[in-house]
Amino acid sequence: MADIELTLPDNSKLKVKKGSKGIDAAKKIGKKLAEDALAIEVDGKLQGLDFKLEENTKIKIITKNSKDGLEVLRHSASHVMAEAVKELWPNVKLGIGPAIEDGFYYDFFKKEPFTQEDLKKIEEKMKEIIKGNKEFKKKEMNKGEARKILQEKGEKFKIELLNELEDGKISFFESGKFMDLCKGPHAKKTGEIKAFKLLSTGGAYWKGDEKNEMLQRVYGTAFFKEKDLEEFLKQKEEAEKRDHRKIGKELDLFSINEIVGSGFILWHPKGTALRNQIMKFDEQEHLKRGYEFVTTPHLFKADTWKTSGHYNYYKENMYFLEIDKQEYGVKPMNCPAHIMIYKSNQHSYRELPIKYFEFGTVYRYEKSGVLGGLFRVRGFTQDDAHIFCSLEQLKEEIKKVIEFCLHVFKVFGFNEVAVKLSTKPEKAIGTKEQWDKAETALKTALEESKIEFEVDEGEGVFYGPKIDFKVKDSIKREWQLSTIQVDFNLPERFDATYIGNDSKKHRAVMIHRAIFGSLERFIGILIEHFEGKFPLWLSPVQFKILAVGEKFEEYAEQVNKKLLEEGFRTELDLRAETVSYKIREGQMQKIPYIIVVGEREKQNNTLTVRDRTGQQKTFSLEEFIKEKKKEVIEKK
């Protein structure tokens, strides 16, 4: 049989017989590698070690203790969980069971919800299955055979999934007597799942659609080492303490009301104060960098969305209505409006770059099953900007946006940043020359900014390459924040041009960028990052002012008035409660400073100030104002 040539991650070549399996390639590279192998990546797609290599291709052996290896392990754990549930409750019907970012889940159709006791039973049964060290065997068949098996098992949800698959080989994975419709890959044996834990359970609509049946979702996680599992559980416990929905309620920041609708946030006075501070900071930073502010409607005629392409490619995520027999779409993004403002005048190359910025509120349809607090909503506000420039200006403008992003991250206390450059996908618009220039501009901008980055080949969007920024919060969780995208598509669709120095029209290049992403999600991240203990400049209430008795209330009011005049956000508490009760309440509300005034303070025109750590100090009013203004300016 003829040889084929495999390209390894270091670009070295490996010759194997055509039809060799992934495990054969691993063995040829090295015995230890074959022992640690879990799967093989073939042209960027995960496959099982039994995958047959039929042509020259790029491969990567996926081993234990790698990110992809962890995905394989967790997918395998999900399979074992399904097997355990079917043994304990044979009449339960199976949904889907993927690996996810920090674990796995499986959806089951079961009339009664799973209890915590049930989770313990499932865990014990999983341990039995894992101890049995059963081999994961892949079985392939045609669609008719697969349908017959699923019909015999009465797995109606699996049949629905099968109907959505293309004709051809259908794969099942078998461990012992249990067999599940699954594309894999899985570990070699169940015994490789050494450290796992079931975490929680809850309801989930089939396919995330509230019109479908409610299933019971069981979440779990798995690691190669017990130590890694323990660290994860410790971080999870810390994350639960910081849950922005819990803290948001405790601090009276926001609410979601089912009468108003799921996915739409009601910002309370304190939440609005926090939001306004972020917006004021952001506005000032944009003004410093030469952005012009614009405001655009929430509703455009459908013709706009047809021109932009959203009508054909994004319609299921949009809201439409009819006015005067005309179809209108609620905006899911601000880009077309900014282009229309740009096009309202003819522009010369001397005017470029032109930078439009807007706090633009947009609306996108999200299935109710995926909505979650501030992190996934249907209406949100972006700190949205679009830069119109020439290809020659692209690199310098990208460098400026990179600097902007890093500055913002630093101000909010995000000091660990990971950067990824995503390049041209298989299906893309624009010429090769445009893509080459845009990718070079992004790459060179990162290099000249001395930013370390990874290249994600082929993961750019169809209209241009992009840079993504991820930050780590105070408990080392990673969050996707800013994106810088180069766009050839919309300038082409809307014919956005400028007059060059040759007196001819040239197509403008458009940079999309949002630094926070959305205010809602960013505030959710901030709440959890700070655990609600915001720095002074951000705190919705900066000072809580208390009087130790009625005869000192007038002085407390004077202090409050002065602080308000100086631009601080205060709360004057003159309720008929004890001072100790009010101090305790202020601490629960995570207010940075609690000011107490009594006889001594009134006589000396001073303040007794207690900070969040419980430390107490006496200031003159003037000294206190001066120090706290400095703290606000320095954003400590």
State both tokens at 536. 């002074």
Query: Which residue in 382, 434, 485, 542 is the catalytic one?
Result: 382
What sign for the dihedral angle of Cα 298, 303, 308, 311? positive
Query: Which residue in 118, 282, 384, 473 is the catalytic one?
Result: 384
Query: Which residue in 182, 335, 389, 405 is the catalytic one?
Result: 335
Query: Which residue in 79, 244, 331, 512 is the catalytic one?
Result: 512
**Collapsing DSSP states into helix, strand and coil, what is residue 243?**
coil
Report yes or no: 508 and 390 within 8 Å, Cβ to Cβ.
yes
- Is 335 an active-site residue? yes
- Is 326 an active-site residue? no
Query: Which residue in 75, 186, 217, 386 is the catalytic one?
Result: 386
Place of tokens 């099982």: 48
If phi > 0 it is left, if psi is from -120 to 50 it is alpha, else beta; for residue 400 that is: alpha
Beta bridge pairs of residue 419: 469
Beta bridge pairs of residue 319: 330
SS (H, E, C) 392-413: HHHHHHHHHHHHHHHHHHHHCC
DSSP annotation of 469: E
- Is 529 an active-site residue? no
Write the burial class of residue 279 (CB in 10 Å: 0-12 exposed, 13-18 middle, 19+ buried).
middle
If phi > 0 it is left, if psi is from -120 to 50 it is alpha, else beta; for residue 133 that is: left
Query: Crossing angle of helices 394-411/269-288, nearest 10°?
Result: 140
Between the alpha carbon of residue 80 and those of residues 10, 36, 115, 224, the distances in Å are 35, 21, 19, 15
Between the alpha carbon of residue 237 and those of residues 88, 123, 234, 240, the distances in Å are 29, 20, 5, 5
Query: Which residue in 74, 86, 466, 569 is the catalytic one?
Result: 466
Alpha helices, DSSP H only, in 425-518?
432-448, 489-493
- 366 residue type, one letter: E
Place of tokens 């940043």: 417
Report yes or no: 104 and 75 within 8 Å, Cβ to Cβ.
yes
Between the alpha carbon of residue 565 and those of residues 272, 276, 329, 562, 606, the distances in Å are 20, 18, 44, 5, 18
Query: Which residue in 347, 364, 472, 506 is the catalytic one?
Result: 364
Contacts for 481 with CB less than 8 Å, ≥ 6 apart: 405, 409, 414, 469, 470, 471, 515, 516, 517, 522, 525
- 215 residue type, one letter: L
Report yes or no: 131 and 84 within 8 Å, Cβ to Cβ.
no
- Is 384 an active-site residue? yes
State both tokens at 544. 């809580």
Q: In 254-278, which positions are buried (b, 16+ CB within 10 angstroms) versus exposed (e)?
A: bebeeeeeebebebbebbebbbebb
- Is 338 an active-site residue? no
Give the number of other CB atoms < 10 A from CB of residue 460: 23
Q: Which residues are catalytic?
A: 335, 364, 382, 384, 386, 466, 512
